[in-house]
Structure 1
């Protein structure tokens, strides 16, 4: 077995090196962060202090700068908690109690959004495209034409259970043409995949600190139209997840309503500045795309097959079918990869076994070549000579060609 390489050895001179000796997180977040991001959490901050209020302003303004908003129609509301907290806050605050949401699902996170709508006792229309297929604009238009009670459509920008990048632009066009409102869960895409408000006309979108900006977990954020934020007053089911109340309080006092994750905010600002220095959304997305292309090409050379056709592959995370070889056992493969310095992600498919490799975080194409090399070594150690998937996997994937 080869000796695990440290992050410093594999990443030297290409990105700011993360802490020596930690494995790379090949996941859709939490992800591998820079040493500077970790170091920012070594200082304590007073949540009411002027310095921290200034940090909150920088955070909000920095995120708004990524939206394409030149008219000042949007505002940013950070919200304590994980990304799912922010999704629930968005649905509960922008969908009135009499509203109805069309949830477009093709994986676990669309299903979670639908479950959230049910918990909040809003009306629900649900489309489940399965593991392989994206929702399309013409489908959305047809549903909206037959159901005038639908007030909102919720789309997942990148469904990380499969790695599919959904066509939010055509969904947005259909929603706008029907006079309804779009909510976007861009949890794993914002910051690396363009979501320009001038192209994708959303009422609100959400993402999280520990995704493509490369911060650490602790808060999500809602970016929404100011007029919709005004209109959201009184909608929320929750005291702590009321986006309007958080927004109004921040604008009035400069403070979070309840105890903020101060260390996480400090780390996020370091990550946000690094994001800008790298070249913003375009450059971050280009690096992740190179990561994806290298790992996909290398894994295919080993015999692995991707769940998705190239057209739908996101630069965020890629799902691979597990090999048909009976000597392949995912748990053993996982441990071997971890021993070599890489933590991969289990699959979430319902039809065939799979695993996922994330492309985001403080990693570049040189790291991804080492991922492929580690996978090759792991197969050898398991006695797996052929990484080809079972036939049923390819039959299921063929549905994407339809």
Structure 2
């Protein structure tokens, strides 16, 4: 991919870049849209909600009307719980695929819901594979649904949802996808990857601000889910039915957030949709990974599983390295990074998503180089134990 000729505008008002998996750096025009107040019952806002839902279904590739979009107030985890609680029947059983914190959170959600589930936990380093899913489904006929995370941002692994889907539907089960940190930048076309529903959030790859998530589901599946939900406010069927009848959200909607999201969708389309957004994020990742490796840092994952969403790096073994100090130094240089979320080794994460480009990533690398010098770190190489642990678990 050729280098961008013109850098994206820097954040205004002295804001640092958010190199996180969301919330993330947004366009100034997206922020500016929130300066207007909206009435939740007003026809103009109802039209906005309808337009947003229509555009999201189009991003999923549906042109037949088979799928519908239901926005849900709250953070992404609210929408994940809403999807699971509405679409997994009370007498159903889910196979949850985990290789990090968010798959494990889905399993914990099922436990809270009191719904039957079983778990494949791959740890921090490797994705669940289709043959493993097939074996689990063959061994347990009671499983009705499989829950998969598209991109596991605790490590940065891009999971192979296409082969997982193939294994699921060959055995006449149903797939639910948490595409929180991937939808809008990585393809999840309903015509190419079969699933019953997926969930994502406003403040991820479409580059809106936090405040709502959304469930894109087959109309027939949602129609059949009436009465399944454990919750009044997290009932996706009830939210959809009310919106169909009135055009309004059931409870107070995040009006400013929806307006900002409408602007973010406009920018997303202008950039070239999923393909254009994904290309920029991929370039961000490639520049970041090469530059950090040149400094001596080691990525948690091998290239095959690196997503263009977020990259996890091992913390250096050098005794002068301290993550809190490194974080503060990076922030002082205009970059907010993310602590690691691994269970075995110390790490940190740098996001590739948001309103930033390869020029920003080169500045990130320089800031990291300067921070190491400021701390007196002479080598960014990780502990030998971290590499050994990765080799053992990835074998």
TM-score bucket of the superposed structures, by smaller chain: over 0.9
| 1:14-163 to 2 correspondences below 5 Å | 14-163=7-156
After TM superposition, the structure 1 = structure 2 runs for residues 161-200 of structure 1, keeping only pairs within 5 Å, are 161-200=154-193
- Which residue of 1 is the match for residue 290 of structure 2? 297
More off after superposition, 222-231 vs 65-74: 65-74
Deviations 1:365-396 (A, max 9, x none): 00000000000000000000110000111112
CA drift of 1:298 comes to: 0.3
Matched, 1:317 2:310: yes
Residue correspondence of structure 1 range 255-266 to structure 2 within 5 A: 255-266=248-259
1:278 aligns with 2:268: no
Deviations 1:43-89 (A, max 9, x none): 00000000000000110011011111122210000000000000000
Give distance in 1, aligned partners of 2:392 and 2:275. Answer: 31
- For residues 194 and 233 of structure 2, the distance between their equivalents in structure 1, rounded to whole angstroms, comes to 27
Contact 2:99 2:122 in 1 (8 A): yes
Q: Cα RMSD between the aligned structures?
A: 1.2
Partner of 2:232: 239
Structure 1 residues 131-186: Cα deviation after superposition (integer angstroms, max 9, x where no partner):
00100000000000010110100000000000000000000000000100000000
In the aligned structure 2, how far is the partner of 1:370 from the partner of 1:20? 19
Question: What displacement does 1:339 show?
Answer: 0.3
Could you say what secondary structure the match of 1:18 adopts? coil
How far apart are 1:113 and its partner, in Å?
A: 0.4
How far has the Cα of 1:13 moved from its partner?
Answer: 4.7
Deviations 1:271-298 (A, max 9, x none): 0010000000001000000000001000
1:307 alignment counterpart: 300
Deviation per residue, 1:270-328 (Å, 9 max, x gap):
00010000000001000000000001000000000000000000000000000000000
Which has the higher mean CA deviation after the structures are superposed, 36-45 or 63-72? Answer: 63-72
Contact 1:304-1:323 at 8 Å conserved across structures: yes
Distance, in Å, in 1 between the alignment partners of 2:12 and 2:58 is 29
Deviation at 1:349, TM superposition (A): 1.0
1:332 and 2:325 equivalent?
yes
Q: Which runs of 5+ in 1 are unaligned?
A: 1-10
- 8 Å Cα contact 2:81/2:109 also seen in 1: yes
Q: Distance in 1 between matches of 2:11 and 2:360?
A: 12
**2:126 and 2:394 in contact (8 A); partners too:** no
CA distance in 1, matches of 2:393, 2:187: 24
Deviations along 1:324-355, whole A, 9 cap, x unmatched? 00000000000000000000000011111000
Unaligned runs of 5+ in 2: none
Where 1:212 maps in the other structure, the secondary structure is coil
Q: Is the 8 A contact 2:11 2:17 kept in 1?
A: no
Q: Kindly tell me: are residues 263 and 49 of structure 1, through their superposed partners in 2, closer, same or farther at Cα, counting changes over 3 Å?
A: same
Query: Aligned partners of 2:382, 2:290: CA distance in 1, in Å?
Result: 16
Q: Equivalent residue of 2:48, what SS?
A: helix
Other structure's SS at 2:60 match: coil
Quick one: distance in 2 between partners of 1:198 and 1:325?
49
* Normalised TM-score (structure 1): 0.96
Conservation of the 8 A alpha-carbon contact between 1:308 and 1:400: no
> 2:8 & 2:43 partners in 1: Cα distance?
33
Residue 374 (structure 2) pairs with residue 381 (structure 1): yes
